[in-house]
Amino acid sequence: MIRARNLAIGYNGTAIQRRLDFDVQQGEVFLILGGSGCGKSTLLRTLIGLQPAIQGEFQIEGVVPGGGEPRKPGFGVLFQSSALFGSLTLAQNVALPLSTWTNLDQDTIQTIVRWKLGLVGLDGFENHMPSELSGGMRKRAGIARALALDPPLLFLDEPGAGLDPITSAELDGLIHTLNRGFGVTVVIVTHELQSIYEIGDRCIMLDRDAGTAIAEGRPTDLRDHSEDPRVRRFFHRETRLTQGHA
């Protein structure tokens, strides 16, 4: 689904990550990991076309992004803040990609909207405003909008950020259903250890000081077998904190 080679990302010509080489396979949940400020969200923004790459190249489904006429996106995105339009109802938010990129009639669009909101557990909330929802419900609504065009690829930026453990676990369950039940390939920026182990197939780990990826593989394999102290600190930080308070 995604192939990146010698990719450098950053802002204003200054790279914060260099020499990134990785592949995302169809049907997997691929995680972008690392400490705060290492460039995780910047990498995601680069992949979805909001931030230009400084060097190197990447392809999504064999296509090099950028250039040419605008075309219907081949992926959906959930931003960290959900990025719902506050002046629109949930139904209007989810309908927006459909009215923008398709020629479907309004009855068909509304049928799809109800289906997508039902898929994420928000049936009956079509006429609610984003401000009337909890944080977890807004995340679900954001996923419904990201799924409006039935993309084969979904990008999620810190989906569990700011959520309580139960709501975060429910969101993990939804992501698992979308991936295993509907075959959606998912790329997630996260630092939530429980989510990493619950839903991640493979991951790449970025390091701010190294300025590049320092590990790639299955999360449990890196946790249990990596000899890199930076990788071990990341995956065992919960245990270390617990021991520190014992």
Determine the pLDDT at residue 82. 86
Domain 2-63+71-212 in CATH: superfamily?
Answer: P-loop containing nucleotide triphosphate hydrolases (3.40.50.300)
State yes or no: pLDDT of 95 exceeds 60: yes
Q: Average per-residue pLDDT in the chain?
A: 90
Query: Which of these, 244, 102, 227, lies nearest to 217 by C-alpha position?
Result: 227
Which of 170-179, 180-189, 233-242 has the weakest average pLDDT?
233-242
Position 245 confidence tier, pLDDT thresholds 50, 70, 90: very low
- CA distances to 47, 52, 119, 127 from 56, in Å: 12, 11, 38, 45
Which of 5-14, 26-35, 63-72, 171-180 has the weakest average pLDDT?
63-72
Cα separation, 89 vs 144, in Å, equals: 13
State yes or no: pLDDT of 68 exceeds 80: no
Greater pLDDT, 66 or 117 = 117
Q: pTM here?
A: 0.90
Cα separation, 193 vs 122, in Å, equals: 27
Total residue length of the chain: 246
Query: Which of these, 106, 116, 166, lies nearest to 143 by C-alpha position?
Result: 116
- Neighbouring-strand partners of residue 215: 205
